[in-house]
Structure 1
């Protein structure tokens, strides 16, 4: 009989979206003409691929629209809820009554269902037949209290989750002034207040004694000389001036890496980078194009003895 219930759900139901899928899932479980079936919220979630709240909202909409009834006096396996589709039940009851009066009458000849054709009373359900389908009558028994509407009723709000999302469980002990009960920044985080004072720019950073001692121990001071080391330091500050501020430890490590890669100057080589009329020392921060232009100008201004 699930075929008749599904046909009604497809052709006559006004439900949409998830509610339509929930109704079809319940209709697919109907075993006989009473149009009664059991289904838990978890089962409906798996069948419809919808969330728990979406399924519960859909059940409430179907109940309010009169397309679904909740049989409070019955329960299925594992205390699952029992539902009935009243309109298909009314149609099948009308067909059965018409064929009982005229056995030769076909289903196609039965008059269409109207609002004046009520569904059989829930009290008249065949309990023995329902028991064969693992649906038990529980009203008035000692098995437990009457089942509540899982989708919510007019007298009570819908069932809520015990623990809302995005809410952290607080520890059982501790007062309001304890760090464990409030969100306090960790002092060792990258942008905490303790490390913010050490952040500086490359221009303001000063070479510390540890870096100078490192340059001397590694032989870079002897290799570059004091002037070469100062020139390398000036060049490093020029190229790092556009960088974002960093901690002193980061600048120190970057400065050491720069000094280690700096080329050793050759005093025997003539200085081709001196600007005409300027200082013969290498200008810090000059690009390769500037250096080549300075060399050409120096060569042009150099006396040849043929003047």
Structure 2
């Protein structure tokens, strides 16, 4: 029936522009001789490549012209709207009646006075194989039984989109109730490990053994190591609380960069340090600085 309905749209419809495209898209889904079809607004937008507003305006214009009606007591697959093309149904009934009498009879073009066939309950029952059912709550709305024998067919409710739902107002079990509390499950923390300030963190035996094995204890000495530790705590006093593992890693990085006590101060760039001994050139200054770094005699003593 859809081919005859599409042919009627092309040859006899008075619609124009987007309305003609929308009517053709609906006629493409005509299911029976009564010219009943179903279509959702989204599918019409996709098939006509028009905006939603344009499709709505086209549907309104088609209903005003009498070429389209909405069957509010029926619903299609996924709760789509059910339409009827009454003038198309009148034309097809007229052609069927004339050809029943004479297969070669000439049929007059459709007119506004052509009677529209009445819809009966049997015709509506035949629509169920196309997924068109009476809406729940109507007098003709019966239990939807499918051929498999289950009590009811698949639900017509749209599935809930992912990540949708009601967010708790006061937080969940994994959220902190006070925004000022530190969140423990951040990247770099070990689950629910306790956090502390740098001043309260104590050098653990593993960190002390690391300093000895890496040669930092011999390089700095006990006094130098304590001085570096005190300097580190002074610089980290303004930092927020962290886990003991994080403080240990930060402390080791600081100790590895700490200078040895008594390291010579190199003035490789002229003018950046004390005035050099008079009578030597800049190249001699650089050479003396390098030799001082190597603890070698400079030759100028």
TM normalised by structure 2 equals: 0.46
